[in-house]
Each structure stands twice: as C-alpha cells, then as structure tokens.
Homo-oligomer: A and B are copies of this chain.
C-alpha cells in the first residue's frame, strides 16, 4: 500500500469530549470519526485494525468448531416478547416500528433469534453439540455514550451460542470456548486475565470475563500473583478470618463525636485504626402481591468493617435479600430513632434483621454509632454488649492483601477492560421459548445453552489503553493497521531513496508483509510523528545520507532509538523480527 492511495488523516488535538487515551489517540490517528453520540465512522486506518481482529476471532471460532451465521440487525419484536425481554429490558434496547407500525428491535445480542434457529434446526440430540456465532453490528442505546469505541452505541460484537443435550455436555462446550478465547487473546498480543465472574441466578462457576489489563479500566480485577486465581471484584470471595476473636479489653462507653458521621472521621477523632470501626448499612425488602402492591416490608441492618466496602452481589445472595433496596430515611428513623451517620446495632426502637460480615464477627472492642446524633459507642463487644451474631456472611469487596481463596498467598487488585465473556446460560432461553430437541430417551428436552461474546470494536480501544505512550499508539503486530511503515526522506529529490524505498516495499509486499510506503511527500518530522501517533510497530527510515553509507534505520515503536541496518540486509532483518 502506498500512503498517497490511502486515507491518512491525523489531528494535532483530540476532540474536547475525548476523556481517555484510546478515544483521544484513535481520533487523532484518524481511525474513527464521530458521527453522533456513541456512533462512529470506522475510517480506513481503524477499519484495518477491526478487520484483523475479526479475522483472528473468525479463524479461532472456526477452529473450535463453531459455525458462522448472520442474524439480522433489525429483528421482529415477537421473539423478544417470547422471553419477556421486549418489556423487561430498559431504554438501552432500541425499539422501532416499521411502516406498518409493527414492532422491531435493533439487536443488542441475539439470544432469542438464535434460540429460534435452534428449535427449528436441531431436532435430535444426534445433531448436538452445536455452536452458532456471528460477527455483526449491534446497538445499545446507552444513556451516556462516551469513551469512543469503549462505550459506543453502535458497535461490532462476535456473539456465539452453544446448544447442548445436557449440563455435562454444556460444560464441555463452555471449556472449548474458554480455550478458544485464550488462543484468541494470546494472538492479539495483549496482557489479559480470564477472571471469574458472577453467574447470577444460574449458579455454578461457569462465567468468566476476559479482561485486558489497563490502568484506565472500568473494572477492578482481583488476582493472586502466585497462582492463576482471578476474579472480578463482584465475584472474588473474601475468606473467613482464621484468627480467633480477641478477648474484650475495654468497657463499652458512649462518646461524643459531634459532626463525625463517617467511620473515617470517627477513627480520626478517636485516634483509632479505621479497622476498629464498624459501619451500619440499612436495607429493606418488600413483600408484594401479584399486582405489585407492597403488603409489608422488612428492615435489615448490615455491619461491615469501617475500611471495607459492601459488595451488592454478595449481599443479594444472603437468604431473603435477593431483591434488597436501601431503606428510606423514615424507615431508618422508625427503627433506629436516629438519622443516618450515627447508627449501630445497640439500642434500637424496633427490631431489624442483623447480618454481620465475617470480619466484623471476629472484632473486639469496636466502635459503632450510638443511635443518637453526634454520639458513638466505643469498646463494643459481641456476647457482652449485644448477642453473638447469628447471621454471618461474606458481604464485602476483597481488598489487596486479603488471602487468596486458593490458599496461594495474598490477593492483588488491578484495573481491567472487559472485552470478552463466556457464560453458561442453562435453560433460561430454551425454557422461555420452548426450544426442545428429542433426547436419547425419546422425550423433548430443553437445550442447555451458553453464550460467548467478544467486543470486536471495543478490543482495539482496550489495546490502545494498554499500549500507548506520549507520542501515540503502540499496536501489537497482530492487529496493527500496517505491520511495517517505510518512511523515505526526500523521496522526491533523491532517486536512490525512491529506488530503495520502492524495492523494500515491493519485496515486503511479495513476502506477504502488510507494509505501507509513505510517499505523501510530508516533511520528515511530520511524517515520523504521524506514524508514531498511528502506532505502526515496525518502521524503516531511508535517507540519502544513510544510503551513501549503505545504511537504513530500523526502529520498533517501543524502542527509544533506531538501529542502523545495512540496506541489503533490511528485508531479512525485518522479516526475522516479524517471524
């Protein structure tokens, strides 16, 4: 490819709304161009990256035995009504009507349509397992689209769906996909982790996210540096403390803490470690009848250590708390006789259900609110000042330094960007859509399903978040828009430069290398800056002076200085670097 025949369009400044590096750099490098909120043109330079991502994904999906289909972007609502998602999903599901006022959706995923295919096509267990996938345009009407391709509204996703005869077979399909995902992400050349994720009501451990490690990632990833344990923060278990509770050393006392309504403020005032304080969180659950009228409500008090954060997923798994909400101020006043900020488990006006985090259950001489404004209790002890806790559970997010659940040391936390997800669905969709096959016993049986997504247009953005510097993007070879760029200095003035550049270009092309020759005639500084911004990983600079000595300059995008290479060896030098 010659640059004069391509569309290269770099910008000095990033757009004002670009908050993160990938959005800034991909826009400046001319890879994407915003058309509307969360809607982008994939420009030629960016589309080359996307096509390489697609090709790797397709190749590995095919290798894993998945079969490619394409399901429509515009889908009749009737399928989405069968599972109830047409009504249940929020405004992010874009609902439209055609000229005859019939309802449609723009697909955000395709569980319904693929399940419809399965119930028509897979009549017998003999046809199973099957895995159908597509690489297709999706739309989610995000309330606040931002971060460029990271959280766009229109995007390209690879979504695969497995159909199996039973749960054991579904687990094999899941593991096959998981292995394919590892191959895919290995090939991308990115640092990533497969982290355990919550599988919701379905249970089991068959839900993992593939997270690209990046300091700007939206997700917290918990991992053990000594083992392969990794989970997202929602999922990561905090082990029960192993040390016994210390004996009570202090008497309980009421202490004035005027205006100190947070654990941190109280700890500072009392000159105590934050870990000696206990925070009180008040939740509520409602009983409703079929019409949705609330018949009665139950108030719950959760106790967590002052330095710990509540984990909503874990709280939701406590029996009775599946559909919890935060209590209202009036509910709090009714039960505690006090406004939030000074709450505690002692001296309630009306009884509540108490749930105690594992770490709180082993505390001695702790501090909590006194249920009286501007007062806290100190020296509180279980079994003496209040009964021993009966409902103890894991309610909190893990923190760095917690013990790894696999016993291999302490946990660490880093940030990640979710670019893939493998998920065991069970019979959620097949049951709702009456999608059955004839099992070996001759009876209709619902498909056991799994779903497997990769954000094809999100992936380049994640790659940039992980791989960039102050000069621009640093693409891994596998998904770079071009693998090699040839930058001739003064090509229009020097026949030697022109000849050498064109020969190297032709030789690399013939060897199947994805190379671009910058024949635009830009000034050297601007030309080199463009390619550093665009992030092509391998660069050759040819100039008259160097060629007089028979040398050209090679530089990998991560390197800080160029290497002089004899012009007659540069082809083999580059190809050996790529091999």
Contact = CB atoms under 8 A, between A and B. Distances in A.
Interface of A: 5-7, 9, 33, 35-36, 39-44, 47, 50, 65, 67-76, 79, 91-92, 94, 96, 98-99, 104, 106, 113, 116-117, 120-121, 130, 132, 137, 139, 141, 143, 153-154
20 contacts: A6-B67, A7-B67, A7-B69, A7-B130, A33-B120, A35-B116, A40-B72, A41-B70, A41-B117, A43-B117, A47-B68, A50-B70, A72-B154, A73-B73, A73-B137, A92-B99, A98-B153, A99-B141, A99-B143, A137-B137
Quickly give the copy total for this chain.
2
A35 B67 contact: no
A75 B137 CA distance: 13
Nearest to A113: B35
A44 B68 contact: yes
B96 A94 contact: yes
A44 B67 contact: yes
B39 A76 contact: yes
B106 A74 contact: yes
A568 B533 CA distance: 57
A512 to B, nearest CB: 15
B99 A70 contact: no
Given A7-B121, A91-B99, A121-B9, A43 B69 contact: yes
Contacts of A69: 7, 41-44, 47
Q: Is the interface of A mostly helix, strand, loop or mixed?
A: mixed
B72 A39 contact: yes
A195 B407 CA distance: 75
Given A33-B120, A39-B74, A41-B71, 4 more contacts: A5-B67, A42-B69, A73-B139, A91-B99
A257 to B, nearest CB: 45
Contact of A70 (B42, B76, B143): B42
B139 A7 contact: no
Contacts of A9: 121
B72 A41 contact: yes
A12 B408 CA distance: 61
A91 B99 CA distance: 6
Contacts of A75: 35-36, 39
Contact of A41 (B42, B98, B99, B113): B113
Contacts of A50: 70
The 6 closest A-B CB pairs, nearest first, are A36-B76, A42-B70, A91-B99, A96-B96, A44-B67, A39-B72
A337 B432 CA distance: 69
A114 B39 CA distance: 14
Contacts of A6: 67
Nearest to A137: B73
A191 B332 CA distance: 80
B96 A70 contact: no
Nearest to A75: B35
Nearest to A40: B72
A130 B6 CA distance: 9
A60 to B, nearest CB: 15
A450 B123 CA distance: 50
Greatest chain B CB density within 10 A among A99, A117, A141 is at A99
A9 B122 CA distance: 9
A43 B133 CA distance: 11
Contacts of A106: 73-74, 96
Contacts of A70: 41-42, 47, 50
Contacts of A40: 72
A239 to B, nearest CB: 43
Given A41-B117, A91-B99, A96-B94, A35 B5 contact: no
Contact of A74 (B42, B71, B79, B153): B153
A1 to B, nearest CB: 9
Contacts of A143: 99
A31 B333 CA distance: 66
Contacts of A154: 72-74
